[in-house]
Chain A
Amino acid sequence: MLGRVAEGIFWMYRYLERAENTARLLAAGHRMTLTRGQEEASQEWRSVLTTLGLLNAYDADHDSYTGAQVCDFVLRSKSNPESVYNMFERARTNARACRSAITMEVWEAVNEGWMTLRDLLARPVRDANLNQVLGAIRRESTLARGATHGSMLRNEVYCFARMGTFIERADATTRILDVKYYLLLPSLAYVGTVLDTSQWDNILRSLSGERAYRWLNAGRMDARSMADFLILDPRFPRSLTFCYATLRENLNELAQLHGREGKSHVAMREADVKLAGKTVEDIFEQGLHQFLIEFRNSNAAISTAIAEDYRFIP
């Protein structure tokens, strides 16, 4: 396949995944702020912007953090090039540019998703409609992923689609954990204060993991097992371990197809060392924040190496 097309596919799936993750983060934030006072709500919205890396852009033309303003900025603001709407539009533009690499089913899912969101996001989203809109974003992204899974040939194109998805997903999980990492520090649990479990609940919700976690832990909540679940559990599809298992699988597939490995395989192995065989204790010992920063850096390094190895640009 063409290098340009590989790049288009890779980023198309990154954008779709990012749009979905953003919707999930907003939904969790929204739910949280419903039960909080103004000050705390404002803090929560600020942390949503930090997680998305949009705080500076937002601050440039806002002076307070209200749900309506933050959601409008994140979802559809013209002054935000990273808005969910733009993300979907870019995904669609890439799908159009790579039209002959994807199936009719995938094209229709992305094109219809874009049309749906274009209509939903044509006007500011009212509070009463927020959940409906966020639900639509998740649904459209899910449909595109489902169409990919159900209709695409398992060839090179599919590898780039999967790698884009999981690089982005690992990045999102890392960002969410990093903004809230202080809530997971075990020391807090030892202090014996009344724990704000709703904050933990919020983290799980923003990663769609609340149900799985409760089921696995019979409803008990503690920082250690949460960190273990979100970072290391190979069964949870948003854990870093899971993301990297899929990423590794697809990189290996490419190495086999091309009969050679590249810089991305080296970068992948380096990242693996940081994750493989680790327990949650090891990670806490190293420092959770430090661990997450290093992980994000190696995640970005793998992404760059993929672009180079597979000739995304001349």
Chain B
Amino acid sequence: MSSSDPTNFDEMHGPDGSIRSAYRGYNAWLEEQDKSWMRRKGAEAESFFRRTGITFNVYGEQDAEERLIPFDMVPRVVTGGEWRRLSRGIEQRVRALNAFMHDLYHRQEIIRSGRLPERLFRDNSAWLPQMVGFTPPGGVYTHIVGIDLVRTGPDEFLVLEDNARTPSGVSYMLENRETMMAMFPELFTRVKVQSVSNYPRRLAASLAASAPASAGSTPSIAVLTPGIYNSAYFEHAFLADKMGAELVEGSDLRIVDGKVQMRTTDGYRPIDVLYRRVDDDFLDPLTFNPDSVLGIPGIMDVYRAGNITIANAPGTGVADDKAIYSFMPEIVEFYTGEKALLPNVETWRCADPDSLKYVLDNLEELVVKEVHGSGGYGMLIGPTSSKKEIRKFREKLLEKPENYIAQPTLSLSTCPIFTRDGLAPRHVDLRPFVLCSPDGVDITPGGLTRVALKKGSLVVNSSQGGGTKDTWVLDD
């Protein structure tokens, strides 16, 4: 059995080797299992994923066109009580995000009040002047949000990142659970876990509730994908399939009679809600990127006329910006009148000279990220970088300090993974998925747990060798 490293919080094993309460049920089951049988099960999981085609594509890798994200079969367990506390914080944050979006594209009270510097969004390429003064159907901007959380102690969850643009990974939440249930059916009779399987139904309901007033009683929903070569194509097809919605590409759509319509075998049919998984830039070549072949010419006019819901609303990517992130505690307080229940990770904005000086002096201790970056690319992890890497990064940083923020290297919590030699602790994060509609905020009890498979590594991104785990919220 594993012993946990005393310098960070392990979610399964206490410092004295005892089993923390969330994992007691799982541990009791595990101790009864034969070790070589468990090893065989590990191999089974991989063939299961390959057969069902749950893959992701890595940009820039030619041979490995479709790769599997490794799956670890030790669940990540959260108690019902922990989850309830967490949910309150998530809901508060998502409501604030939505109010913030509305304000940014309307009166901009938060800027007038001096709480947020104007340049933050003026310099932000995700900011869309086309959205100014326009309110999306139902007033909802962020229909689907993924909040990335890290844990540093029994009661300490921190927000690492907000994904308000097009969060991905929810198919892994669902398929990881299916895999676990197929592999260890009896485990689920022993430990009561809250179900995640109705997420697609909740998503469909949430999208339908956000339909424009012009839609009938059963709005027509479609998922817009860039196509089969996109890294998340599997998820797009998966969600369309589970929702019973059409999976469309730009070339299937056209504006007919002031509505966005799709080319069916029986002529053009209107769409009321478009769950788009393409970036703003590729949405409408008439309004945004004129070279895009992915988009639908004229869709923004239909949108502004109130004849379609686009989820998430164009321009919500502003909130994914890491400089905006650093202001989230102020943003939450400004729109909800309450202190943020979920704290941010301490963040230095390199645009600010004092912070920059501190960051430069402490590069080998810090994690430095690009403000607009994502996927773990273009970042520096001080403690694991060589002197040379740090020197090169310092030059980049000095060139455009406003492009960077820095955070302390957190002692992220660990959760055991299954290795040939038994359980071994690895660092994890958590992305719960949150749905917003005029009917309210809906959080599915679970999420995507990403795990760094390399010993000691803090990088959990799937594009950089991270894996995933099934995330359990106990029904207690």
Which chain B residues border A123 with CB–CB below 8 Å?
none
Chain B: minimal CB distance from A211 (Å) = 33
Contact between A2 and B228, CB atoms less than 8 A apart = no
With A100-B247, A115-B50 as contacts: A311 and B241 at CB distance below 8 Å:
no
Closest B residue by C-beta to A314: B263
Instruction: Return chain B residues, CB-CB under 8 Å to A107.
Output: 52-53
**With A3-B264, A3-B265 as contacts: A100 and B249 at CB distance below 8 Å:** no
Complex: A310 Cα to B264 Cα, angstroms = 8
The dominant DSSP class at the B interface is mixed
CB-CB under 8 A from A115, the residues of chain B are: 50-51
Cα of A85 to Cα of B246 in the assembled complex, Å: 30
Question: Which listed residue, B237, B241, B265, touches A2 by the CB 8 Å rule?
Answer: B265
> Are A96 and B51 in contact, with the CB atoms below 8 A?
no
Main secondary structure, interface of A, reads helix
- Contact status B264-A314, CB under 8 Å: no
Which one of A1, A93, A108 contacts B51 once the chains associate, using CB atoms below 8 Å?
A108
- Chain B residues with CB under 8 A of A108: 51-53
Q: Nearest chain B CB to A276's CB is how many angstroms away?
A: 27
Q: Which residues of A contact B352 (CB under 8 A)?
A: none
Which B residues, 208 to 243, have Cβ-Cβ distances below 8 Å to chain A? Answer: 227-228, 233-234, 237-238, 240-241
Q: For the complex, is B252 an interface residue (Cβ under 8 Å from A)?
A: yes
Q: Which residue of A lies closest to B242 (CB)?
A: A100
> How far apart sit A161 and B251, CA to CA, in the bound complex (Å)?
22
Are the CB atoms of B254 and A314 closer together than 8 Å?
yes
**Residues on A with beta carbons closer than 8 Å to the beta carbon of B267:** 311
Q: A99-B237, A99-B241, A111-B51 are in contact. Are A4 and B228 (CB under 8 A)?
A: no
Chain A residue numbers with a CB within 8 Å of B241 are 99-100
Interfacial chain B residues near A111, Cβ < 8 Å: 51-53
Determine which of A2, A97, A156, A257 lies in contact with B262 in the assembled complex, contact meaning CB atoms within 8 Å: A2
Q: Is B332 close to A, CB under 8 A?
A: no
**Interface 0/1 of B177-220, CB less than 8 Å to A:** 00000000000000000000000000000000000000000000
> Is B12 interfacial (CB-CB < 8 Å)?
no
Query: Any chain B CB within 8 A of the CB of A220?
Result: no
Task: Kindly state whether residue B331 has any CB partner on chain A within 8 Å.
Answer: no
Residues in B with CB closer than 8 Å to A4 are: 249, 251-252, 263
| Besides A3-B263, A314-B254, 9 other A-B contacts (C-beta < 8 A) | A1-B246, A2-B264, A4-B249, A4-B263, A100-B241, A100-B245, A258-B265, A311-B263, A311-B267
Listed in ascending order, the chain B residues whose CB lies under 8 Å from chain A are 50-53, 227-228, 233-234, 237-238, 240-241, 245-249, 251-252, 254, 262-267
A-B contact pairs, 11 of them (CB 8 A): A1-B265, A2-B246, A2-B248, A3-B252, A3-B263, A96-B237, A99-B238, A99-B247, A108-B51, A311-B264, A314-B254
